[in-house]
Chain A
Amino acid sequence: MSGDVLLSVRGLVKQFPARRGAPWKARAAPIRAVAGIDFEIAEGESLGLVGESGSGKSTTAYCVLQLLTPTAGEVCFLGQELTRTRGERLRRMRRELQIVFQDPYASLNPRMRVDAIVAEPLEVHGVGSARSRRARVLELLDTVGLDPDAARRRPHEFSGGQRQRIGIARALALSPRLIVCDEPVSALDVSIQAQILNLLSDLQRDLGLSYLFISHDLAVVRAVSDRIAVMRAGEIVEAGRADDVYANPAHEYTRALLAAVPVPDPRRMRARRDERRRGTSAPG
């Protein structure tokens, strides 16, 4: 199912300057949000990037998309080094590299109609005629499971799950090879979350897409990822095939994360809690 390497990230570092305090104070050290990480994504594969807040997941995504300029390291996509690509060539690469955002309320312009939102990437990149773009929008809405009459409505008329479908249609517009999904379901209710996760899986199967799927929710990541990378404090502490990482976590942090996720099984949760209680009350 997976083939050649599509994206290869080597030694990626992103630092942010520390916030400047009082002028007479020494400047604090810069913040190392991503501290030298390597990973690859193959054609048709999805990599889940998990970690807690502040671990550097989203910064990594933005560096891959070149929405942030990495401090050091390489981002090689379709054989091209993106960190050294500029201008028209970078623009062309961006057609192959799209994003679905977390908040379906903030990421759609409330004043635009859905057809304009979905057609915008096509217009920006000068793809097709007005007529062909209209046809493409209807096709995309159908792909993500929305009615054609959605085209003439505005975002506020839709529920969170439907809005996320609009965001996905927009990301698909230019037929990209890789979609970065940054916490795409964390704002949604479970039943809606399941619909969107199923849709992302279907799209991957039908269109041969690759995903860089970012989430703090280990169960959600599991549902869509072939491989998993666990991030903590800017570093990847463990990576591997999803089934292996979840069944036999090698790193202590991965084990701690997995042990903290509540699972819908009251007996096991009780047992786990009793174990924790004994652990904390034990001497030493």
Chain B
Amino acid sequence: MSLLEVHELRTHFDTRRGIVKAVDGVSLSVDRGRTLGLVGESGCGKSVAALSITGLVPRPPARIVGGRALLDGRELTALGDRELEDVRGREIGMIFQDPMTSLNPTLTIGAQVCETLRRHLGLSPREARRRAVELLGQVRLPDPARRLGDHPHVLSGGMRQRVMIALAIACEPKLLIADEPTTALDVTIQAQILDLLDELRRLRRMAILLITHDMGVVAEAADEVAVMYAGQIVERAETVELFDHPEHPYTEALLGALPRLEGRGLRSARLATIPGRPPDLAALPPGCRFAPRCPYAGADACADRTPALREIRPGHLVRICHPASERARREPRA
């Protein structure tokens, strides 16, 4: 059994425009010491999925209308607010895209790290301080003892993210949820932060749920990938398998749309694009959610039958009527 198991999670929002089905049947699992990349474009529901797992999604307007999330066999979706608070500090650590808005600008780094340690581990002020220096050293913050007295604004973006990671791992969580942890950072700093996360994963056997829009980051940091589109997981596989043999036309298109770094004549080459836009989550198409943009959707059942997530090869799941490997004789429409 995996450390984190999510079964058919559904989170809907009640809005004036109707029910927005932000997460609509998400199943995933992450093992100890492994990184799952949850990838998708803005509005696909990847962040709401993570917030629903940790009980941080605001209810109302959100409602978890179905599914379960289990951490180490314990059902998170059944816990009360108080219990969830403990789980979040001690068993699940979280880091977000913008470390500046996640840190309190009026408190010193030391105060924030020590608060976490005292609240969740019940350490004495002196013990908390000693541990804080140790933690900041582990995340490679230069000169950690002196940094305790600094306020967040004097740190660079990369250093702030290191402080966030120190906070997230303070109680040695089993699971780390990282939501676009490097999106606001320069590439050289991004590589350092991803290396740091990888090191923590190896040394502490932590499981990481890495949420990102960047296929490059996934290729670098994830052992396994789940691609999300319009509230659903549309493809799931080991990272190498997914990049070698993408089955879903959306995954193929995402990979095709990436500008390349290597090769000659890239200047005159056109990038592949995906026609149209993702569907309105308050007015989803009745059948396959990708059908309106799918180059392979024909006049057949696509528009009125929601395809199920099925295992096309061992460990490789896809939700589409026309996976790449079964498309032999079918030519794209366009």
Enumerate chain A interface residues (CB-CB to B < 8 A).
Answer: 52-53, 159, 189-191, 193-195, 197-198, 201, 216-220, 222-226, 242-243, 246-247, 256-258, 260-267, 269, 272-273, 276-277
Contacts and interface: CB of A to CB of B under 8 A. Distances in A.
Interface in B189-203: 190-191, 194-195, 198
Interface residues of B, number: 43
29 contacts: A52-B186, A189-B42, A190-B254, A191-B273, A194-B258, A194-B273, A198-B270, A198-B271, A201-B270, A218-B261, A219-B261, A222-B259, A223-B259, A226-B267, A247-B262, A247-B264, A261-B216, A262-B191, A262-B214, A262-B217, A262-B219, A263-B261, A263-B262, A264-B219, A266-B219, A266-B239, A266-B243, A267-B240, A276-B195
A260 B266 CA distance: 20
A53 B41 contact: no
A190 B257 contact: yes
Contacts of B41: 189-191
Interface-central residue, A220, A224, A261, A269, by most chain B CB under 10 Å: A269
Contacts of A272: 220
Given A191-B254, A224-B267, A277-B195, A216 B186 contact: yes
A66 to B, nearest CB: 28
B299 interface: no
B198 A273 contact: yes
B219 A197 contact: no
B260 to A, nearest CB: 6
A276 B216 CA distance: 17
Contact of B259 (A189, A197, A273): A197
A258 B261 contact: yes
B210 interface: no
Contacts of B239: 266
Contacts of B259: 193-194, 197, 217, 219-220, 222-223
A72 to B, nearest CB: 28
A53 B190 CA distance: 13
A256 B188 contact: yes
A260 B187 contact: yes
Contacts of A261: 187, 216, 261
A30 to B, nearest CB: 20
Interface string B232-271: 0000000110010000000001110111111011110111
Contacts of B188: 52, 256-257, 260
Given A52-B187, A191-B253, A220-B259, 5 more contacts: A52-B186, A191-B41, A258-B261, A263-B261, A266-B243
A159 B276 CA distance: 11
A267 B240 CA distance: 7
A125 B220 CA distance: 50
B274 interface: yes
Contacts of A262: 187, 190-191, 194, 214, 216-217, 219-220
A189 B274 CA distance: 11
A265 B261 CA distance: 11
Interface of B: 41-42, 157, 186-188, 190-191, 194-195, 198, 213-221, 239-240, 243, 253-255, 257-262, 264-267, 269-274, 277
Tell me the interface secondary structure of chain A in the complex: helix
A218 B243 CA distance: 21
A242 B221 CA distance: 28
A276 B191 contact: yes
A273 B220 contact: yes
A226 B215 CA distance: 25
Nearest to B202: A277
A246 B261 contact: yes
B187 A190 contact: no
A266 B253 contact: no
Interface-central residue, A191, A220, A224, A258, by most chain B CB under 10 Å: A191
Given A198-B273, A261-B216, A219 B258 contact: yes
A225 B219 contact: no
B187 A216 contact: yes
Nearest to B242: A266
Nearest to B190: A260
A193 B253 CA distance: 13
Nearest to A222: B266
A244 B264 CA distance: 9
A273 B277 contact: no
The 3 closest A-B pairs by CB, nearest first: A262-B216, A194-B271, A194-B257
Given A246-B261, A256-B188, A264 B267 contact: no
A3 B243 CA distance: 41
Contacts of B264: 243, 247
B96 to A, nearest CB: 18
A276 B194 CA distance: 12
Contacts of B186: 52-53, 216
A52 to B, nearest CB: 4
Contacts of B214: 262
Nearest to A202: B270
Nearest to A52: B186
B226 to A, nearest CB: 15
Contacts of A242: 266-267
Given A226-B267, A262-B216, A191 B257 contact: yes
Given A194-B273, A201-B270, A264 B215 contact: yes
B186 to A, nearest CB: 4
Contacts of A264: 215-216, 218-219, 243, 255, 258
Contact of B262 (A159, A190, A223, A246): A246
A225 B267 contact: yes
A191 to B, nearest CB: 4
A105 B327 CA distance: 40
